[in-house]
């Protein structure tokens, strides 16, 4: 996710199905989510329309009355539409806000530590992190939320496009997006656990060994099934602003598929070196 998270600043999601060899035009939130999954999206439509969390959203975190938070009704309606009981919804909501408050305290004090509240949230919503019937294969990603959108638009299922992922992506319950990074790390772990079979795909615009993708997601994926078929998709943003695949001859266009992480990483490094694109992340790519 690479957050990702979300960059997981809290990611902001989307998704159609059938894969295509060329990137479609940018898709609006309502085009991408509302049609196939109206119950959840109708509850969080304003945030999905906005496209990404803002730092000015209502930030009321009252430990004595979590249900007074302005986003509680949308959260409750969303998970009710997924079949979660009211009691479980309230427990999950309370743990979510407690987790945000703990994470903010860590940041203010300069400390680091585990966040059991976020771990509990991930446990509670784990069943809703499964790929939906008819959904595309599991996809992990690195290099900014545009990479997730690219994967989704080409028929894959990312964490943010699962039912629970769409709910959390529509919330703005924090002042600093980094306050929810650990939440997305826990959700990502459950996402991989809840989808243990089938082809997996990794979309990467950068290679950063310190990222969630490399430190958590890919290891979790391979620990589940070392023989799982994984396809790697190195990407670069072209001059037109669209993500395109880096082909073996280092040209850009359509989808680029590699059967090994080494080959995909080499393509990323070589393309970045060829174009002298320091922002592309070639400087952090460590090849044996």
Residue 145 lies in a domain: yes
pLDDT tops 50 at residue 273: yes
Is 264 part of any domain?
yes
Q: How do 230-237 and 200-204 pair as beta strands?
A: parallel
Q: How distant is the alpha carbon of residue 79 from its chain centre?
A: 19
In the prediction, which pLDDT does 136 show? 95
Residue 106, domain member (yes or no): yes
pLDDT-above-70 percentage for the chain:
72
User: Does residue 3 lie in a domain region?
Assistant: no
Number of domains within the chain? 1
Question: Omega into 188 within 30° of 0, i.e. cis?
Answer: no
Q: Is 202 helix (H, G, I), strand (E, B) or coil?
A: strand
Give the ranges where the chain is alpha helix by DSSP (H).
29, 38-43, 45-50, 72-81, 86-109, 116-125, 145-153, 163-169, 181-194, 212, 218-224, 261-275
Asked which of 10-19, 113-122, 161-170, 171-180 is least confident by mean pLDDT, the reply is 10-19
How open is the CA angle 123-126-129, to the nearest 5 degrees? 150
Cβ-contact 23, 157 below 8 angstroms? no
243-245 and 230-237 strand pairing: antiparallel
Look at residue 50 and tell me if it is in a domain: no
Region of residue 58 (left: phi > 0; alpha: psi -120 to 50; beta: else): beta
Residue 118 belongs to a domain:
yes
Does 12 reside within a domain?
no
Residue range 206-256, pLDDT digits in tens:
888 888 899 889 999 999 999 999 999 999 998 888 999 999 999 999 899
> Would you tell me how many other CB atoms lie within 10 Å of the CB of residue 262?
12
d(CA 106, CA 89): 26
Which pTM does this prediction carry? 0.76
Domain that holds residue 95: 55-285
State pLDDT tens for residues 101-139.
898 888 889 888 999 999 999 999 999 999 999 999 999
Ranking 25-39, 84-98, 107-121, 261-275 by mean pLDDT, the lowest is 25-39
Q: Is residue 6 assigned to a domain?
A: no
């Amino acid at each position: 996710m690479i957050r990702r998270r979300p960059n997981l600043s809290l990611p902001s999601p989307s998704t159609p199905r059938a894969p295509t060899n060329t990137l479609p035009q940018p898709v609006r939130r309502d085009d991408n989510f509302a049609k196939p999954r109206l119950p959840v999206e109708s509850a969080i439509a304003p945030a999905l329309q906005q496209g990404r969390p803002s730092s000015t959203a209502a930030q009321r975190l009252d430990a004595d009355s979590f249900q007074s938070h302005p986003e509680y009704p949308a959260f409750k309606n969303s998970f009710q539409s997924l079949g979660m009981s009211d009691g479980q919804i309230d427990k999950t909501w309370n743990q979510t806000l407690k987790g945000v408050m703990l994470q903010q305290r860590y940041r203010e004090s300069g400390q680091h530590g585990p966040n059991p509240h976020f771990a509990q949230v991930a446990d509670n919503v784990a069943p809703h992190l499964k790929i939906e019937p008819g959904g595309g294969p599991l996809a992990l990603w690195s290099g900014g939320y545009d990479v997730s959108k690219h994967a989704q638009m080409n028929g894959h299922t990312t964490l943010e496009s699962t039912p629970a992922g769409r709910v959390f992506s529509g919330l703005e319950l924090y002042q600093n997006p980094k306050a929810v990074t650990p939440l997305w790390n826990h959700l990502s772990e459950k996402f991989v656990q809840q989808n243990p079979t089938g082809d997996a795909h990794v979309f990467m615009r950068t290679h950063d060994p310190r990222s969630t993708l490399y430190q958590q997601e890919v290891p979790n994926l391979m620990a589940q099934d070392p023989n799982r078929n994984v396809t790697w998709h190195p990407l670069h943003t072209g001059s037109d602003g669209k993500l395109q695949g880096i082909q073996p001859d280092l040209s850009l266009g359509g989808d680029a598929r590699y059967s090994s992480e080494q080959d995909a990483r080499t393509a990323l490094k070589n393309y970045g070196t060829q174009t002298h694109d320091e922002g592309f992340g070639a400087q952090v790519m460590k090849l044996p």
